[in-house]
């Protein structure tokens, strides 16, 4: 199972190595791509894509990190995961351009794309960090102490990013009630260990095809690892709630959130429980 890897760690590691030839070549290819004369509608979309050398470099690091971090990742999944980094309003063109960019990066050898019987295209890389201790990505991880109070709509220190789901595409600095998120984030949670031991987590619907089966296996393994981690820390943890673009509250705990599947709703409990009377 691949570890969750923090992008900043990869960025720092590449800088420590003095750069990577494949990354520099990827930067050149993307800059050439931006200056290529395609057909009218594609040219218009690319002209509206505001980006500089550093943004391109950061995007390549994101592609590299996503590949390092996932045991199984398809071309389509990576496009869906990272197309928000193409800063244009048209969602269809974001997807098309991101697909082109990933293809260009693969020509340098930084990542590789392998096709099986034309059914799906898996992305992988031959690079690793030689079994070094790699810090986990803070996103989607359980929190074992009160999350600190939010002072702005973006948290630069703990790695969780914007308080508005959708990351930079939906982020804004207008008013949102940060005090409500703080109040919800202070509620201690626990897992029903007996239920976890008794029942196996299952997908909402049966996976169709090899791709969905592998995705479910990867997800369920990481979920089980998260449950074990929470229980090992005294079975007390906290959620990190966020707002959607319409102001609705959502759990930030990907693997152990009460707003998840029926299984999640069954295992996630309030740590401090009382018998209510007077009804």
Which of 36 and 2 is assigned the larger pLDDT?
36
pTM for the whole thing? Answer: 0.54
**Residue 258: per-residue pLDDT:** 87
Mean pLDDT of 204-221: 78
The pLDDT tens digits for 72-120 are: 788 888 998 899 889 898 999 999 999 999 999 999 988 888 876 555 6
- Flag whether pLDDT at 220 surpasses 90: no
The arithmetic mean of pLDDT across residues 6-31, rounded, is: 82
Q: Please tell me the least confidently modeled range out of 115-119, 128-132, 186-190, 245-249.
A: 128-132
Q: Facing residues of 164 across strands?
A: 243
Does 47 score more than 60 pLDDT?
yes
CA-based nearest residue to 119, from 179, 59, 74, 181: 74
pLDDT at residue 29, rounded to an integer: 94
Quick one: pLDDT at residue 133?
42
Task: Name the residue with higher pLDDT: 18 or 186.
Answer: 186
Delimit the domains of the chain by residue range.
Answer: 7-124, 154-270
- Quick: pLDDT tens for 140-169: 677 888 777 888 888 755 556 788 876 566
**What is the distance of C-alpha 192 from the center of its chain?**
26
Which residues sit opposite 114 in a β-bridge? 122
Q: What pLDDT is recorded for position 156?
A: 54
- Rounded to the nearest 10 degrees, the angle between the axes of helix 21-34 and helix 91-106 is 140
> What local confidence, expressed as pLDDT, does residue 238 receive?
92
User: What are the φ and ψ backbone dihedral angles of 28, each rounded to 5 degrees?
Assistant: -60, -45
CA–CA–CA angle 216, 217, 223 (5° rounding):
85
pLDDT of residue 246: 82
Which carries the bigger pLDDT value, residue 251 or residue 129? 251
Contact 222, 80 (CB under 8 A): no
Mean pLDDT of 16-20: 73
Q: Is 56 left (phi over 0), alpha (psi -120 to 50) or beta?
A: alpha
pLDDT tens for each residue of 249-262: 988 887 898 888 89
- The reported pLDDT for the residue numbered 129 is 60
What is the pLDDT at residue 145? Answer: 81
What is the assigned CATH class of domain 7-124?
mainly alpha
């Amino acid at each position: 199972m691949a570890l969750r890897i923090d992008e900043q760690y990869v960025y720092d590691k590449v800088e420590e190595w003095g750069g990577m030839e494949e990354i520099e070549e990827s930067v050149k290819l993307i800059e050439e791509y931006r200056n290529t004369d395609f057909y009218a509608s594609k040219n218009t979309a690319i002209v509206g894509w505001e980006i500089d050398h550093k943004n391109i470099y950061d995007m390549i690091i994101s592609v590299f990190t996503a590949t390092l971090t996932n045991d199984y990742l398809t071309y389509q999944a990576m496009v869906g995961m990272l197309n928000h980094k193409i800063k244009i309003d048209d969602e269809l063109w974001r997807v098309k351009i991101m697909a082109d960019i990933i293809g260009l990066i693969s020509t340098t050898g930084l990542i590789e794309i392998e096709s099986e019987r034309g059914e799906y295209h898996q992305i992988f890389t031959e690079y690793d960090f030689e079994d070094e201790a790699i810090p986990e990505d803070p996103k989607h991880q359980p929190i074992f102490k009160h999350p600190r109070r939010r002072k702005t709509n973006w948290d630069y220190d703990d790695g969780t990013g914007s308080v508005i789901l959708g990351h930079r595409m939906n982020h804004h600095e207008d008013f949102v009630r940060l005090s409500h998120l703080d109040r919800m984030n202070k509620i201690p949670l626990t897992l029903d260990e007996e239920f976890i031991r008794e029942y196996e987590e299952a997908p909402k619907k049966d996976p169709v095809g090899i791709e969905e089966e592998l995705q479910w296996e990867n997800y369920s393994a990481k979920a089980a690892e998260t449950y074990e981690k929470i229980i090992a820390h005294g079975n007390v943890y906290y959620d990190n709630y966020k707002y959607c673009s319409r102001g609705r509250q959502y759990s930030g705990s990907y693997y152990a959130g009460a707003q998840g599947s029926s299984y999640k709703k069954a295992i996630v409990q309030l740590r401090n429980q009382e018998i209510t009377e007077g009804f």
